[in-house]
Structure 1
Amino acid sequence: MPKSDPLQSESAKRPSAEQFIPVKNLSTGDKPTQKSSGQIHFREQKGYFQRLRTTMNSLLILLFFTLPFISFDGRQAILLDVQQQQFFFFNLTLWPQDFTLLAWVFIAAAFGLFFITVFWGRVWCGYLCPQTAWTFMFVWLENRIEGNSNKRKLLDKAPWSANKLGKRTLKHSLWGLAALITGCGFISYFIPARELYLEIFTGNAGFWSTCWVWFFAICTYLNAGWMREQMCLHCCPYARFQAVMFDANTKTVTYDVARGETRGPRKRKQETQLGDCVDCNLCVEVCPTGIDIRQGLQYECINCGACVDACNETMQKFDYQQNLISYVSENELKGIAHSNWRSPRFLGYGTAVVIMLIVIAIDLSNRSEIQLNVIRDRQSLYRETADNRVENTYQLKIRNKTQQTKQYQLAVNSEMPFSLIAAPVITLAAGEQADYPVTVLADKDAIPAGRKIIEFSVTDISEPRQSVSQETGFFSP
């Protein structure tokens, strides 16, 4: 039998042209986004929303640096004193056992953020996020030194020269100084600000103070100077889960496709069948995360409104209607009447915020300004005296949690005749804790044998409603 040709057999196994899945090369015709070129050099933009963003970012930065310098009652008004385990907030002092109150505050703030997101999307990222504020501040310094976005791109590609080296050295020096001041600003909430700044810039700061300042300075330099949009795109969890809070009534930065397409260049006042989008690509060039908003809603968008201002500027030049790109909801684009007030998300997040505020108010009203711990003498259960009495010894740990010197009335409460052998009044300075030994005495014949429950109470003499108590045991033979 003739041998079959392996080449012919293999050829027979191959599918015919009709059996191949057709491949078509699709080209969108869109201009590349900034992300395709690596580092994003977005151009500065002026306009209503950029003025609003700049104002809010500036206020945020100003508050961040000035709050630690506010004094109250002769000390820093806001100070988290880790060493003394006290958190001062004007006339309020929080101790470690009070930090549940801070937890409620953070939870309320989170639900407040979710509540705002239902209405305005990711506006926190665009207008109040520290990452955005410091990034724009660093970019502003970069623009003053290296020029606009086009000049910065050319400088990146240019070979190293004395001019390039000088500009880069000046830029990174100013970035480093801004980062160092930011590190001091953050640590000044933990160490008195007036001392910290002076010690850091004179080289007299302690080892750990210096380490923490430089740690946050390096983080600021890397985040705001180098990573920038990468923090928003890849590190920030809010960017990933924000979409679950959106609905068809949420206002986000949106491109009106029906009005803008088909896009294309044209001359001013030229009659055309194209849409209003002139394909100037400014919305991409001003975007700090390098996206093209015309491609639809994207998680990278931080709702800063730069593309809105850029597009409105172009629309004004061509005498077209404003807000081709605007803060608008999906239902508004479709012409559907809507109301956020009845949406499940509004009711859910709004209810959660109200509940958290009520919990905070209750926690604050029930917060005691006195701390009391009762510790029994571990050496013996009881002692019998020569005059037929029984005594038990205790150690009272009493803390004054206020910022004023206080006098406290001590008492032992029981239905049986117990006597307190100790000075009934104790004076404590602001924040002071005293270990106060006391003895409780009773006639052996007046009390039953075994363990009895007694209660120690400590009451603020000047403010009797501030009182704490704790039960313990009294032993007798």
Structure 2
Amino acid sequence: MDNKIDIKNIPVDVKVHKTDTGVNKYNPRDRIYVRAVKGLHQRLRRNMGFIFMGLFMLLPWLQFHGQQAILLDIVEQKFNIFGMTLWPQDFTILAWIFVIGAFALFFVTTFYGRVWCGYLCPQTVWTFIFIWFEEKIQGSRNNRMKLDKDPWTAGKVWKKALTHFCWLAFSLLTALIFVGYFTPVTQLFVDFFSFDASFWAVVSVLFFMFCTYGNAGWMREIMCTHICPYARFQSAMFDKDTFTVTYDAKRGENRGPRSRKDADYKTKGLGDCIDCNLCVHVCPTGIDIRNGLQYECINCGACIDACDDTMDKMGYAKGLISYTTEHSLEGRTTKVVRGKLVGYFLVLLAVCAAFGWTLVVRKPVMMDIVRDRGALYRETNEGLIENTYTLKIINKSQVEQTYLLSVSGIDELNWIGDQELTVQGGETANLPISLALDPVHANKPVLDIEFVLQDKDEPEVTLSQGSKFFSAR
């Protein structure tokens, strides 16, 4: 019986595109000049970027019941999100949101590759905005390359200074809006530009301003290729049925230039790729997609639009570079519905259901019972046994609520203090009260009682909290 294992020779010679052969090969910022490109995918990317950029800019300014709709107040340890206030005890809700985001990202990546990176990642969106400033001030890709090689003149200084001024101005706006999620945004803008802002507000704004300026203006693709961990583990979610930006080597090779009128180029051994390198020029990470799938690729589709435009001008069929799967390139059927994708989807549904259930069962009010730490009990002049408590009521909604308070467990207990309390939206109120009991009704040293809270306007909202009543016996 032949037990030999077939050996397959795997080529180890990998061609990697190099955009600069100079000595300073570890300074990619100086060697990647992104060329502007138009097309379906870039329109989609820009429109999605505008929508989410608009949401980012506008959300802090929205008002809800006279208050900032979204205010993540870290100092006060409460997050106001429209009609809901989240306290540290509610951080499981935030945890569910992050888990949902993670599995949604896994699901989308398994199906369509790194489209999050190419279309919605803040690093990508802000980078393209900064490149837009470059194009409007310094000109096209070739003009920017020429400008960097030219000696320093008044014109070059003006263009560079104006570019960096626009970068810093947009970074400042970004930082103010971002910090405005954590402090009242209107007051922040007024105080900042009137030089009346607090020390930590100024430090926070300047910190995020220079982070934005550095990331989108200078680091750019370094964030995607060297710093972002997502680029490193994304391949674990890929399979042969994942749609990724791919070059069809069977159709494109051998690549080479030719005339538009050259109809018999295939008889010369040439493929459809004319080796124009536009796919490299438009790539924000500076890779050559023709070298195969690379972890630097962010699936933005810029090379697809550039290649489709070239194919259209040459009179060739589009799709030399496209969103496709490895199985499709091999001539096999792509399995859209498959185990891994279904698994991520089911987990995502389960997590969403858990998040929804957490919101449904969440009470819009919370109550803590704090006993008097000075004494377990005391005897009044009337001979009654008295226990003192402080009721801490937290209104988790953002509207004023009135609550009715009572106690159960011992019918003969006398309530000393207010039994109706009004609490402002998102605020905490402390109510000191006492409970008194005739010793005749105290049949043991420690009695179980239960404080009951009920919303006056919404009686279905009730909350109970157990405690103890200490007697003299």
Post-superposition offset of 1:330: 0.8
Q: Distance in 2 between matches of 1:396 and 1:97?
A: 17
Preserved CA contact (<8 Å) 1:248 1:331: yes
Q: Distance in 1 between matches of 2:366 and 2:241?
A: 50
Preserved CA contact (<8 Å) 2:63 2:69: yes
Higher mean alpha-carbon deviation, 217-226 vs 168-177, is at 168-177
**Equivalent position SS for 2:190:** helix
Aligned to 2:392: 397
**Equivalent position SS for 1:340:** coil
Aligned to 1:285: 281
Aligned to 2:224: 232
Aligned to 1:456: 451
Number of residue-to-residue matches in the alignment = 450
Q: Distance in 2 between matches of 1:64 and 1:404?
A: 25
Q: Does 1:132 align with 2:128?
A: no
Aligned to 1:182: 174
Q: Distance in 2 between matches of 1:54 and 1:386?
A: 78
Q: Distance in 2 between matches of 1:252 and 1:35?
A: 29
**Equivalent position SS for 1:407:** strand
Q: Does 1:147 align with 2:139?
A: yes
Post-superposition offset of 1:335: 2.0
TM-score (norm 1): 0.90
Of residues 439, 446, 449, the one that matches 2:441 is: 446
Q: Does 1:408 align with 2:403?
A: yes
Residue identity opposite 1:349 in structure 2: Y
Post-superposition offset of 1:269: 2.6
Aligned to 1:358: 353
Post-superposition offset of 1:474: 1.4
Higher mean alpha-carbon deviation, 432-441 vs 39-48, is at 432-441
Please list the CA deviations of residues 435-472 of structure 1 after superposition, one character each: whole Å capped at 9, or x if unmatched: 21222222212221221211111111211222222211
Aligned to 1:315: 311
**Equivalent position SS for 1:55:** helix
Q: Does 1:116 align with 2:108?
A: yes
Unaligned runs of 5+ residues in structure 1 are 1-25
Post-superposition offset of 1:62: 1.6
Post-superposition offset of 1:329: 0.7
Higher mean alpha-carbon deviation, 176-185 vs 66-75, is at 66-75
Structure index of larger Rg:
1
Residue identity opposite 1:94 in structure 2: L
Q: Distance in 1 between matches of 2:343 and 2:129?
A: 37
Q: Does 1:206 align with 2:198?
A: yes
C-alpha spacing 1:193/1:389, structure 2 compared with 1 (3 Å): closer
Post-superposition offset of 1:400: 2.0
Aligned to 2:19: 33
Query: After the TM superposition, which residues 238-277 of structure 1 pair with which residues of structure 2 at under 5 Å, given as runs?
Result: 238-270=230-262, 271-272=264-265, 273-277=269-273
Unaligned runs of 5+ residues in structure 2 are 1-12
Residue identity opposite 1:397 in structure 2: K
Higher mean alpha-carbon deviation, 387-396 vs 126-135, is at 387-396
Q: Distance in 1 between matches of 2:49 and 2:397?
A: 35
**Equivalent position SS for 2:430:** strand
Q: Distance in 1 between matches of 2:162 and 2:430?
A: 58
Residue identity opposite 2:78 in structure 1: Q
Post-superposition offset of 1:376: 1.3
Post-superposition offset of 1:371: 1.6
Post-superposition offset of 1:416: 5.5
Preserved CA contact (<8 Å) 1:261 1:276: yes
Q: Distance in 2 between matches of 1:404 and 1:420?
A: 28
Post-superposition offset of 1:244: 0.6
Aligned to 1:69: 61
Considering only aligned residues, what root-mean-square deviation do their CA atoms show, in Å?
Answer: 1.8
Residue identity opposite 1:466 in structure 2: V
Preserved CA contact (<8 Å) 2:84 2:396: no
Residue identity opposite 1:408 in structure 2: Y
Q: Does 1:193 align with 2:185?
A: yes
Please list the CA deviations of residues 24-68 of structure 1 after superposition, one character each: whole Å capped at 9, or x if unmatched: xx896x874369764211111111111111111122222111111
Aligned identity (percent) is 48
Q: Distance in 1 between matches of 2:305 and 2:223?
A: 24
Q: Distance in 2 between matches of 1:279 and 1:56?
A: 31
**Equivalent position SS for 1:33:** coil
Q: Distance in 2 between matches of 1:31 and 1:468?
A: 65
Aligned to 1:339: 335
Preserved CA contact (<8 Å) 2:423 2:429: yes
Preserved CA contact (<8 Å) 1:411 1:458: yes
Q: Distance in 1 between matches of 2:37 and 2:425?
A: 53
Of residues 298, 304, 314, the one that matches 1:302 is: 298
Aligned to 2:463: 468
Q: Distance in 1 between matches of 2:109 and 2:296?
A: 15
Q: Distance in 1 between matches of 2:403 and 2:150?
A: 75
Residue identity opposite 1:125 in structure 2: C
Post-superposition offset of 1:183: 0.8
Residue identity opposite 2:260 in structure 1: R
